[in-house]
Amino acid sequence: MPVEVIIVGGLLDTPSSSRQVLLDRLKNEVSDEVEWSWISCDAQSQFEVSKQVMRKLAEKLTMWRKEKSKNAPQAKEIIVIKLATLHGRTEGMLYQHWKEPIIPPADVRQSQEFIDWIRANLSKVKKSESKEAPKTVQEAKASAALLFANDLIFGADVNRGIAGLDEQAGPPSKILFFLEKLANLAKERREGRLVVSLLQWLRGQGIPSSGESETTKKNSAEMKKRTWEFGNGDTTEFDLHLKPKEGTSPDRCVRIYFEWCEKRKKFVVGWIGRHPV
């Protein structure tokens, strides 16, 4: 099946006038079996750049989905590569696609660095085309439990929380991505590499997250609603949480509550479900 690699964002030394030159180089120097395309713009504001890029990508992916749904022979697999210069907080918009984008290391900022990186990693990039996204929240949780068993523990109340959600809340691919980021954070903490707080690290990765307000934490009735099984038969109060989706109907407003277990050196996910009310 043909593969198209869509690059979103920009490189520091590649203005719009030079992007076709780089695409030609990718075809000639990396692979002529891949269709290379680039979505970017030259707005002054980084946020405006991100917004326009996301709009263009959404249009392209909408067309791709229509082709896929019709089993059109020209339908191809799409791989999205998100460059570091794209505004981090718009990253979640990419997860309306059926899988997460590939993100090169942050120090890949120049065109030659990008060509060297993609040449070294092309086989990994192309393998990503077969990684199907979870279709339900339960599938996302099951995948995370298998993939991140060394970093995450899921408490006994998680399935109960998921049962109260629309099965496509999040969407599920975004929930899996957020759990992957949480697993990465567990590695950083366990290996002593954290130089910022847990929430600062998550927000730096473009992951909306927060703790409960002081008012909520001092309210025993509210904290009882946030008390779940800790993966060992005991219960504990959970405070920190990821926010994959909010501002929507209750059964699609997802919260992922987690706490660090010092004994097991892993995060315990106590709840994936509706906002506690």
Task: Tell me the per-residue pLDDT of 204-243, one tens digit each, with 9 for 90 and over.
Answer: 888 899 999 999 999 999 999 999 999 999 999 999 999 9
pLDDT of residue 152: 94
CA distance 87 to 47: 6
CA distance 225 to 126: 44
CA distance 48 to 70: 34
Q: What is the pTM of this model?
A: 0.60
Q: Region 63-84: what's the mean pLDDT? A: 66
Q: What is the Cα 212 distance to its own chain's centre?
A: 23
CATH number attached to the domain at 3-130: 3.40.50
203: nearest Cα among 171, 242, 174, 169: 242
DSSP-H helix ranges across 150-193: 158-163, 172-190
Question: What confidence tier does 254 reach under pLDDT thresholds 50, 70, 90?
Answer: very high
Q: Give, rounded to a whole angstrom, the gap between the first and last alpha carbons of the chain.
A: 48
Question: What confidence tier does 65 reach under pLDDT thresholds 50, 70, 90?
Answer: low
Cα-based torsion angle of the residue sequence 269, 271, 275, 277 in order, rounded to the nearest 10 degrees: -130
Which sequence spans correspond to the domains of the chain? Answer: 3-130, 137-274
pLDDT of residue 45: 57
Average per-residue pLDDT for the chain? 82
